[in-house]
Structure 1
Amino acid sequence: MNNSHPLLPMGWDLNFETHPDLSENDTRTLARVTGVRKNRFHVSNGEKEWLATVSGRLIHRTDGLYPVTGDWVFMNDTVISEVLPRKNALSRGAAGNRGKQAGLATEEQVIAANLDTVFIVCGLDRDFNIRRIERYLTLVYNCGVNPAIILTKADLHPTPEHFVSEVAAVAFGVPIHPVSAKDSTGLAPLAAYLSPGRTIAMIGSSGAGKSTIVNRLSGKTVQATGSVSESLGKGKHTTTSRDLILMPGGGMVIDNPGIREIAFWDDEGGIDTAFPEIERLAGECRFSDCGHTHEPGCRVLHGVSTGEIRQDRLDSYHKMKRELAYLSQRQHKSADRVEKERWKGVAAKIKAMKKRSRNG
């Protein structure tokens, strides 16, 4: 694929050219999903955008690879026939499918695919919550994507640097940007994430200012915005869909509806990355299976007593560890149940065949 190919500004890179079905003689059209509307999809090949549906085969697939915003797909005219393997996917436990424990889910919801960075957006009003930021970081790291933290509404405080320091204490090495979309303060550094072909997804609570940032970065109103309730400190879901929005500098932004529950789905080591100071001291514990709760010779508990680790930070770590362990247990049980049902069906067929053989 040459440097002038129309898909390059859409984020195409060489990683996708390793797809076994991709060849010079392939007559199918390559496109990227730029928006999802229930059973309708907006797709673009870099030169034009059109509406599409999915093939029946994709609808009935059991591997979960169903088109989402940011996916690369093969098109047969107006029908999506195949989704190319993703380099990453931002996903969470689906809302409304919670398990027995709060924050857990029994189904996966893929939010967006093939991302370069995820902006974790948090307002410096009632939306500000360190524990929530820790959960967002764990979620993003589990998905294999690089995070950046955007602290909006910095104009509400004379010294927003205090909040930056508080976040930096739990977000080791993560870029943190205090911004005010009201007067565009702090927005200039965000342009570096939006170089041509790069894709950003934004996640955060309703009313955190995600859509306002998109409008400021684009230089025009492309997303509806709403006010935040002064009594409740909550915003309305002004963004109801996930669209890939092209920015003036050539990058792309996927705005997302506000997330009320940050439910995990996969455990891909994100918690280890989000809590590096605990993982570092855990390697010095007397016992390799130390739970860091009461065990003798626990280096982590010693770190709490000496002030190396804050108790609330360790409590947050334990809470997410329990959630991820419970989630893993549920998923393994579900997989075992599926396998048992499959063999139960096979056994029933064999029994029926033997019965017909005897009666024959």
Structure 2
Amino acid sequence: MTERIEIPAQASFDPTSLRPLGWNDHFDRELAAMNPGPGRVARVISVQRGLFLVSDGGREWLCSPAGRLLHGATGDYPVTGDWVLADDVVATAIIPRKNLLSRGEAGARGTQAKTAHRAQPIAANLDTVFIVCGLDRDFNLRRLERYMTLVHNCGLSPVVVLTKADLHRDPEEFRLEAESIAFGVPVALTSLPDGAGVNELGRYLAPGRTVAMLGSSGAGKSTLANMLHGSDIRATSEVSKSVGKGRHTTTTRELIRMPQGGMLMDNPGIREIAFHEDGQGADSAFADILELSAECRFADCSHDLEPGCAVRRAVEAGELDPARLESYHKMKRELRYLSDRRTKGASRAEKERWQGLALMRKDLNRRR
């Protein structure tokens, strides 16, 4: 039942009760710059069919969005993890975000005409993103590369979490495979029977910290949340015998207060990882290719057919997986197209893409 809150005449909050929810000096400064009117500062714990479950650290209650939030731009609508001002039982304003984890709209991947102009916000004001991958049929290095590119594009820090380690006699092989593509990104192995990985991941959930989990349906996110919490806080299901993967159980995004002191957000499974804006995510996710490119003969080398390409040389020498280079090319093309489409329009971007390919071939012939 919705609880009515008595709201003071000006924005009020108790930093002591808000800090365990993730409040920090950044939001102090943002709130002061807003010069807010009446309202209570609260964090959005979950979004439920046009209502927000919010908390001020001492109590939780339901809010509906004010008209300017409901009818404003997509980026102005609160998402899980946002800090808001709540006037009575109405959320009236969003305190400017520290960051936003988002992806391209569903159905956009693979269709350049649709490649993601609409963002689908997932969560706001995060410190870390757990990329959760089950060591069953869910394990896929190319998918991990896309997840890391997405997270880096949003300016966030990923951690790769490999669940269901107990399914294999030597799960370390999977960790080594993941580490071979996750340069500078921690990789953790977890197992429910022996609690492996709990201490390693627990440090990311220190007081005042917020972590979101991303992964496919059945990757083991809810089981991981239960293991980290030490109790059954999320519904789980058994592994399907027909496909050898876990079943989808999470349907909402909700921030959960963890015994380590921080906040953890489970997330419904993601079927496709589409981008919605250009960024430096690919360079961060493919740091090995970026490092090799410094030795290429041409500064603008595309690592395709140019002579003196150090990246292609590494592929030929067996030092770089050709599938990884192809994955890099694919994501760079997607991100370039998004950037061009955003600034030039779809038809012009497509025309210039083909003109660019023709010019590139002429340039390669000239350089030979």
TM range (shorter): 0.7 to 0.9
Q: Structure 1 residues 25, 3: CA separation in 2 closer, same or farther (over 3 Å shift)?
A: closer
1:307-346 counterparts in 2 under 5 A? Answer: 307-334=318-345
SS across alignment from 1:119: strand
State the TM-score, normalizing by the size of structure 2. Answer: 0.86
Q: Distance in 2 between matches of 1:62 and 1:336?
A: 25
Correspondence for 1:5: 16
Q: Tell me what 1:257 maps to.
A: 268
SS of residue matched to 2:138 = coil
Alpha-carbon contact 1:103-1:264 (below 8 Å) kept: no
**Residues 336 and 96 of structure 1: CA distance in aligned 2, closer, same or farther (over 3 Å):** closer
Question: Which residue number in structure 1 is paired with residue 356 of structure 2?
Answer: none
Give the Cα–Cα distance (whole angstroms) in 1 for the partners of residues 35 and 95 of structure 2. 16
In the TM superposition, residue 307 of structure 1 has moved relative to its aligned partner by 2.9
Structure 2 CA distance for partners of 1:102 and 1:152, relative to 1, 3 Å: farther
For residue 16 of structure 1, report the CA deviation from its aligned partner.
1.2
Q: Secondary structure at the match of 2:324?
A: helix
Structure 1 residues not aligned, in runs of 5+: 338-360
CA distance in 2, matches of 1:164, 1:118: 18
SS of 1:315's partner is helix
When residues 199 and 336 of structure 1 are mapped into structure 2, their CA distance, relative to the original with a 3 A threshold, is: farther
Q: Distance in 2 between matches of 1:83 and 1:307?
A: 51
Q: Distance in 1 between matches of 2:45 and 2:278?
A: 28
One of 150, 162, 170 as aligned partner of 1:159: 170
Q: Which one-letter code corresponds to 1:130 in the other structure?
A: L
Name the residue aligned to 2:354.
none
Q: Do the aligned partners of residues 109 and 224 (structure 1) sit closer, same or farther apart at CA in structure 2, a change above 3 Å counting?
A: same
List 4+ stretches of structure 1 deviating above 4 A: 1-4, 20-26, 333-337
TM (normalized to structure 1)? 0.88
Q: In structure 2, what is the equivalent of residue 42 of structure 1?
A: 53
Distance change in 2, residues 1:50/1:313 (3 Å): same
Matches within 5 A, 1:192-211: 192-211=203-222
- Structure 1 SS opposite 2:76: coil
Q: Alpha carbons of 1:244 and 1:129: their partners in 2 closer, same or farther (altered >3 Å)? A: same
When the two chains are superposed, the root-mean-square deviation of aligned CA atoms in Å is 2.3
Q: CA deviation at 1:327?
A: 2.1
Deviation at 1:306, TM superposition (A): 2.3
| Contact 1:33–1:69, Cα closer than 8 Å, also in 2 | yes
Question: Percent of aligned pairs with the same residue?
Answer: 56
1:39 shift after superposition: 0.3
SS at match of 2:159: strand
Count of residues in correspondence between the two structures = 337
How has the CA–CA distance of structure 1 residues 74 and 126 changed in structure 2, closer, same or farther, with 3 Å as cutoff?
same
CA distance in 1 between counterparts of 2:34 and 2:303 reads: 53
Match of 1:18 among 4, 12, 29: 29
Q: Is residue 13–residue 56 contact of structure 2 (8 Å, CA) maintained in 1? A: no
Give the conservation status (yes or no) of the 8 Å contact 1:97–1:107: no
Structure 2 residue aligned with 1:347:
none
